[in-house]
């Protein structure tokens, strides 16, 4: 995780966004594992769409299109 000490306002924003992206990626990876083990259901599918939508909204802002977020969310998480 990035260091939280001695930040300017701009780096605080970047840190926060990177932290959010990391948390959503972790949740999506856990969800993908649950789907692999137990199959899809309405709840898991809803979670998948909600997390994917969060990442897609962040991708709309050019300053947040950092390497960690520069990919097609729907392809990466097999959303149809």
The answer to whether 18 and 42 are in contact (CB under 8 A) is no
With cut-offs at 50, 70 and 90, classify the pLDDT of residue 27. Answer: very high
**What is the pLDDT, as a whole number, of residue 33?**
93
Lowest mean pLDDT among 8-17, 19-28, 35-44, 71-80: 8-17
**What is the pLDDT, as a whole number, of residue 5?**
52
**What is the pLDDT, as a whole number, of residue 31?**
93
The domains of the chain are located at 25-76
Percentage of residues in the chain having pLDDT higher than 70: 85
**What is the pLDDT, as a whole number, of residue 3?**
53
| DSSP element (H, E) containing 55 | helix 42-59
């Amino acid at each position: 995780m990035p260091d939280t000490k001695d930040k300017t306002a701009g780096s605080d924003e970047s840190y926060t966004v990177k932290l959010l992206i990391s948390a959503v990626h972790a949740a999506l990876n856990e969800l993908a594992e649950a789907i692999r083990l137990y199959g899809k259901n309405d709840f898991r599918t809803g979670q998948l769409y909600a997390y994917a939508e969060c990442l897609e909204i962040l991708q709309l802002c050019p300053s947040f299109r950092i390497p960690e977020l520069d990919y097609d969310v729907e392809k990466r998480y097999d959303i149809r």
